[in-house]
């Protein structure tokens, strides 16, 4: 039974409600309006907003006569996207970028695991990891690219190196936190079952650290993605071996603005797709096990 509302200001001495049933309080007008929009499902609300923005974008381009050398409208960008994906111009760079990212993430993950194992196992390792992370993590890995090119030459090794570097430190931090915050009681249970060494790590510590691990991989991916695109922009390999960053730069040299936008949209879409993938993974594991705050049961 909702609490009775206060008598509205205005007409003085509002009559007392009749004994028995109270009248239902009326919603104020603003709440009614809000309830209308708010009642639509999330996807619909976002979709409508997105469509409205795209329409505004197209409207501006068509009406204001913006120079196509500077700015492209959604119709042209969509056309460029379709052409790029169907005809393959966008496919090869995308695959190149994803391949380099994947390689860098793999190396970074392995190193993160190794460093974390050392950090969790020994005091010296812990100090070393903390120091290195504090110094290197704040540095955008792209800034290391010129050095990497000197060390490894003008080839993909330099690119993979900076990606691995971008991924390594946030992952090591997350993994370390994950391992360190395994509840002592859970570990004690493992030990009381007679688990030791690797079995204890595999069956107890690793699964317990999963929320932090996934968060670490997710953060690592985010840094890695941004780094590879930026590195490709700086690196400038021509021809078939270039990635999405080079594709955008190349399109810019040739004043192909719709393709610049198409490249950007592709980058964003991949980012969104992978984010959704991570969310799905989390939902199937960490959320299902109630290992996150506010999880649905």
**In terms of Cα–Cα distance, which of 44, 40, 41 is closest to 52?**
44
How many Å apart are CA 101 and CA 238, to the nearest integer?
18
Q: Which helix (H) or strand (E) holds 282?
A: helix 257-282
Nearer to another protein by Cβ, of 122 and 157: the residue is: 157
Shortest distance, position 236 Cβ to another protein, whole Å? 4
Shortest distance, position 41 Cβ to another protein, whole Å? 12
User: Residue written as tokens 């509205």?
Assistant: 8
Nearer to another protein by Cβ, of 85 and 152: the residue is: 152
How many Å apart are CA 292 and CA 296, to the nearest integer?
9
Shortest distance, position 110 Cβ to another protein, whole Å? 22
Residues 111-130 as b or e (16 or more Cβ within 10 Å = b): bbeebbeebbeeeebbeebe
47 token code pair: 């979709």
Query: What is residue 141's DSSP assignment?
Result: G
How many Å apart are CA 66 and CA 53, to the nearest integer?
17
Strand, helix or coil at 292? coil
Nearer to another protein by Cβ, of 31 and 49: the residue is: 49
Nearer to another protein by Cβ, of 27 and 53: the residue is: 53
Nearer to another protein by Cβ, of 166 and 260: the residue is: 260
Shortest distance, position 108 Cβ to another protein, whole Å? 18
Shortest distance, position 296 Cβ to another protein, whole Å? 7
Nearer to another protein by Cβ, of 13 and 238: the residue is: 238
Shortest distance, position 80 Cβ to another protein, whole Å? 14
Shortest distance, position 75 Cβ to another protein, whole Å? 13
Nearer to another protein by Cβ, of 27 and 91: the residue is: 91
How many Å apart are CA 285 and CA 291, to the nearest integer?
9
Instruction: Count CB-CB contacts under 10 A for residue 15.
Output: 7
* Residues ≥6 apart with Cβ < 8 Å to 295: 286, 287
């Amino acid at each position: 039974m909702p609490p009775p509302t206060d008598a509205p200001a205005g007409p003085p001495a509002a009559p007392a409600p009749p004994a028995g049933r109270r009248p239902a309080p009326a919603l104020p007008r603003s709440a009614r309006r809000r309830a209308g929009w708010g009642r639509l499902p999330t996807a619909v609300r976002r979709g409508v907003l997105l469509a409205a923005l795209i329409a505004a974008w197209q409207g501006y381009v068509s009406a204001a006569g913006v120079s196509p050398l500077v700015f492209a409208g959604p119709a042209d960008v969509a056309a460029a996207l379709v052409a790029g994906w169907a005809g393959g111009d966008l496919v090869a760079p995308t695959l190149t970028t994803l391949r380099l990212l994947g390689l860098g993430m793999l190396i970074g993950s392995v190193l993160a695991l190794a460093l974390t194992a050392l950090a969790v196992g020994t005091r010296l390792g812990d100090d070393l990891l903390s120091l290195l992370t504090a110094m290197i993590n704040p540095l955008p890995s792209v800034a290391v690219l010129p050095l990497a090119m000197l060390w490894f030459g003008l080839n993909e090794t330099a690119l993979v190196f900076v990606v691995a570097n971008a991924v390594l430190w946030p992952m090591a931090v997350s993994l370390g936190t994950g391992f360190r915050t395994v509840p002592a009681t859970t570990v004690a249970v493992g030990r009381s079952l007679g688990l030791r060494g690797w079995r204890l790590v595999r069956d107890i510590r690793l699964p317990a650290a999963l929320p932090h691990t996934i968060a670490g991989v997710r953060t690592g991916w985010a840094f890695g993605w941004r780094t590879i695109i930026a590195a490709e922009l700086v690196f400038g390999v021509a021809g078939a071996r270039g990635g999405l960053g080079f594709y955008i730069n190349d399109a810019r040299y040739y004043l192909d603005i719709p393709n610049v936008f198409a490249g950007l949209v592709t980058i964003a879409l991949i980012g969104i797709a992978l984010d959704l993938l991570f969310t799905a993974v989390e939902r199937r594991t960490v959320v299902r096990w109630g290992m996150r705050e506010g999880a649905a049961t």
